[in-house]
Structure 1
């Protein structure tokens, strides 16, 4: 099952949702503005980032600018608390399942959620 973190009015999330539906992929949507992220969930997202916090933290967001610190100066607990209190600092959408982790909407990257046997069929046509 794919888990997709979104927010209200996020055009990339709307595109990702439409793509998942078109490709008959089951997903659960979690709106970060209406559902509180728990600390374990935030830690799990941070652990899944292959390139560190740059993968999911929007340094251009208003929330990040109010931080007034370099993100590298925060402890993990401080970062988790900051994200929990300011969920809009997260880039969106964030899509993940057991094997794949994709941030934003990209036509090529999102295909990681198509089962490998299906991808092989498409590649052989």
Structure 2
């Protein structure tokens, strides 16, 4: 399954996510949202993967968000998605997505969810052997 890394320009977090995907041989495509913004339909598909809806993907500490003179809680979902389409810097970066999973922002532990299950299991067993060997003596 191919992962998509949606990033805003060449942000540091997006570069880290892309490097991690490359290092772990995860098939991925990268999409610069400044050059190719998400459509409203694509945003709706991403929202289906969230737990807390728009709170999971909107960067409330971003400068564009702070400069907005509107209360996003007063907007309909469609109005908000149209604004995000026009101003992709309102999104957390990167958004890492496959068909079933979403990660907003780069987190070194959480990104491991995109590794195949057998790889995660092997790495966990390897860590367990290295760190939990019985004490000698």
Which bracket does the TM-score occupy, shorter chain normalised?
over 0.9
- Report the counterpart of residue 38 of structure 2 in structure 1: 37
- Report the counterpart of residue 104 of structure 2 in structure 1: 103
SS at match of 2:48: helix
| Worse-matched range after superposition: 92-101 or 58-67 | 58-67
- Report the counterpart of residue 123 of structure 2 in structure 1: 122
Mapped partners of 1:36, 1:16: distance in 2 = 19
| Structure 1: stretches of 5+ with no match in the other structure | none
Mapped partners of 1:47, 1:71: distance in 2 = 19
Q: Tell me: CA distance 1:36–1:106, structure 2 relative to 1, closer, same or farther (3 Å).
A: closer
Mapped partners of 2:37, 2:109: distance in 1 = 30
SS at match of 1:48: coil
Matched, 1:15 2:16: yes
TM-score, structure 2 length as denominator?
0.85
Mapped partners of 1:46, 1:79: distance in 2 = 12
Mapped partners of 2:53, 2:117: distance in 1 = 27
Once the two structures are TM-superposed, the CA of residue 102 in structure 1 deviates from its matched residue by: 0.6
Matched, 1:68 2:69: yes
| Cα RMSD, aligned residues only | 1.3
Higher RCO (Cα < 8 Å, 6 or more apart): 1
TM-score, structure 1 length as denominator?
0.92
Once the two structures are TM-superposed, the CA of residue 9 in structure 1 deviates from its matched residue by: 2.7
| Worse-matched range after superposition: 18-27 or 50-59 | 50-59
Q: Pick the structure with greater CA Rg.
A: 2
Once the two structures are TM-superposed, the CA of residue 109 in structure 1 deviates from its matched residue by: 0.1
